[in-house]
Amino acid sequence: MEARFSIDPILRLIAALSRDLKDDFAPFLPRVVNSLVVLLNNGGQKDAETIEQIFTSWSEIIENLRFCFSRDIQGALRNTPVTLSMKKYQDRCHVCWI
């Protein structure tokens, strides 16, 4: 996988943006999730470090946007099918979601 050393800083930047922008970041969430799934499908699933970085970033994003989700439950559930597509990677790498 090319540019694997730049994945972590980019994912950290995206998580920081979700923390800083909060409500303004929420409309971009489906694109971010789709990009994470594409990253996993294009070789990310073969590298344990990349999988860890992706799920760490994803958990930080969800943590940062939890209040946005609590105000708009329907909007959060609309994006759930995309999140479920990530579940197969969770099962594959034995990551425990808390």
The yes-or-no verdict on residue 6 having pLDDT over 60 is yes
CA–CA dist 64, 59 (Å, integer): 9
Within 10 Å of residue 41's Cβ, how many Cβ atoms? 11
Indicate the range of 14-23, 26-35, 50-59, 70-79 predicted with least confidence: 70-79
User: DSSP character for 20?
Assistant: H
pLDDT tens string 39-81: 888 887 888 898 899 999 999 998 998 887 777 766 666 655 5
Burial of 18 by CB count in 10 Å (0-12 exposed, 13-18 middle, 19+ buried)?
A: buried
The yes-or-no verdict on residue 28 having pLDDT over 80 is yes
Q: What is the pTM of this model?
A: 0.71
Domain segments of the chain as ranges = 4-93
| Mean pLDDT of all residues in 18-32 | 88
Burial of 90 by CB count in 10 Å (0-12 exposed, 13-18 middle, 19+ buried)?
A: middle
pLDDT tens string 84-93: 555 555 555 5
